[in-house]
Amino acid sequence: MATIFNSLPLFSIFIIQLIVLSSAAGFTVDLIHRDSPKSPFYDPSASRTDRLTNAVRRSFTRAASHSRKQNCLAPNNIQSEIIPASGEYLMKISIGTPRFQVLVIADTGSDLTWTQCKPCKNCYKQKAPLFDPKQSSTYRALTCKTRACQALGAFSSCRQDKNICQYSESYGDRSFSRGDLAVETFTFGSSSGQALSFPTKVFGCGFSNSGTFNETASGIIGLGGGPLSIVRQLGKEINGKFSYCLVDLESSSTSKIKFGEDAVVSGKGVVSTPIVRKEVDTFYYLTLESITVGSKRLAHKTKLPSETGSSFKVEEGNIIIDSGTTLTFLPVDLYETMEDELVKAINKKNTADPQRFFSLCYSDTSIVPPALTFNFKGGAKVVLPPSSTFVLNGDLLCLAMVPVPTTDLAIFGNLSQMNFLIGYDLEKSVLSFKPTDCDKQ
């Protein structure tokens, strides 16, 4: 069996634990995969095939939810369609004064951070104690006319009796969180005793929360691109920068995410592409111009008429990058052209996936497929090795990319991001890739 392929291609959930802190340079955080023995979600009875099946299902659910969120553009109709159990990370942080540690789902597809709070009359079961705002000297509920309350738009309401802004987050599986919008001190800390605190950060104190949330986590921390996400709120304190490097899951090392000047991606091999702002500002949109299979370049088929009407141009922001989605989802026309070229290049008989998750599979797991290059705007050529494009699915070797209708959202998933240092510069609206041995980060 070929050793270049990943037998556990599941970057769906990680635990984030602070390991290095520096107020000048930023801070670095460990990412632990949900199926690692270090994870509270770890199930020792689950087989490799079980874990892959679960990750793929979460990937499809998350992709469908992202598409629904993008296509619902009317402000009163938009819902935060992120499924709590699909493609998240976990993050250990502390809130309040004195510090109160919570374990929250970190989601690049959500903005508002919230946690369950006392008194909670309608809460899902949670193993850890609930945060009590009355015990914190730095907790402050926000009034209805504050800028943060207005930023929630249709997701906010006002408690007229106390003039307190209330939030309401609904998710695609009918899970929800409701409570007071507030500000509090967020602290990132480590067992070494080092800590870095950020005061007056907006979050939701949830007094009514229900649905499919896991009892291990206390809530969600939003890492999206919207104004209320934690990375946007940290803003100048991290110079609008964060980056991560995802290791191969066969590795004994852990992945890393960095904030601040430590997150700058530079040096030999770096390629960069613009981050495109669109109506749904939670997502990080990129512009995919083409895909190269081996040496054959395949133009992106999703195009819009140009101003002249006689020629065409590639749509800006036609794909998002999402560290919480396992697979890569491509428009059906582009996918089918790419698959045809892969079949020709591999020149082996393919086999149908009995679970019908994957479109292209081989029973011969020793095949060595050609490299795929994703060509993004600005000349950013991201060359994906076979270990990032094909995964072991039971006894089959399958392409970890699937087609979606052209009306759905295309997603550059985390398998395609393996062993790249990926940097987000939100001040310059630029995303950078650098081929990197993430084991050494």
Ranked by mean pLDDT, which of 23-27, 54-58, 104-108, 423-427 comes out on top?
A: 423-427
Tokens of 95: 């809130």
Q: Across all residues in the chain, what is the average pLDDT?
A: 81
- Residue 192: what pLDDT? 39
Active-site annotation holder among 30, 35, 107, 111: 107
- Average of pLDDT values for 366-375? 93
Question: Which amino acid is located at 277 in the chain?
Answer: R
Domain 27-69+84-261: top CATH class? mainly beta
**Structural contact between residues 72 and 111, judged by C-beta atoms closer than 8 angstroms:** no
Which tops the pLDDT comparison, 184 or 105? 184
- Residue 440: what pLDDT? 84
Burial class (CB in 10 A: 0-12, 13-18, 19+), 191: exposed
- Average of pLDDT values for 167-171? 85
Active-site annotation holder among 30, 248, 262, 322: 322
Residue 198: band (very low, low, confident or very high) from pLDDT cuts 50, 70, 90: very high
- 107 annotated active-site: yes
- Residue 137: what pLDDT? 98
Whether the ω angle into residue 133 lies within 30 degrees of 0, i.e. cis, is no
- 322 annotated active-site: yes
* CATH 2.40.70.10 is right for the domain spanning 265-435: yes
**Structural contact between residues 123 and 210, judged by C-beta atoms closer than 8 angstroms:** yes
Residue with tokens 């299902």: 57
Asked if pLDDT for residue 74 goes beyond 50, the answer is no
Distances in Å between the Cα of 207 and the Cα atoms of 180, 210, 217, 235 are 8, 10, 15, 28
At CB < 8 A and 24+ separation, what contacts does 149-153 make? Answer: 149/181, 151/226, 151/227, 151/228, 152/112, 152/181, 152/228, 153/75
Which tops the pLDDT comparison, 6 or 141? 141
Which tops the pLDDT comparison, 431 or 394? 431
Give bridge partners of residue 221 from the DSSP assignment: 106
pLDDT tens digits, one per residue of 255-293: 778 888 889 999 999 999 999 999 888 899 999 999 999
**Nearest Cα residue to 189 out of 15, 21, 14, 441:** 21
Residue 28: band (very low, low, confident or very high) from pLDDT cuts 50, 70, 90: confident
Question: Which amino acid is located at 363 in the chain?
Answer: S
Residue 103: band (very low, low, confident or very high) from pLDDT cuts 50, 70, 90: confident
Q: List where CATH 2.40.70.10 sits in the chain.
A: 27-69+84-261, 265-435
Ranked by mean pLDDT, which of 60-69, 101-110, 191-200 comes out on top?
A: 101-110
pLDDT tens digits, one per residue of 346-361: 999 999 999 889 999 9
- Average of pLDDT values for 136-140? 98
Q: What percent of the chain has pLDDT over 90?
A: 47
Any idea of the CA torsion for 396, 60, 108, 139, to the nearest 10 degrees?
-120
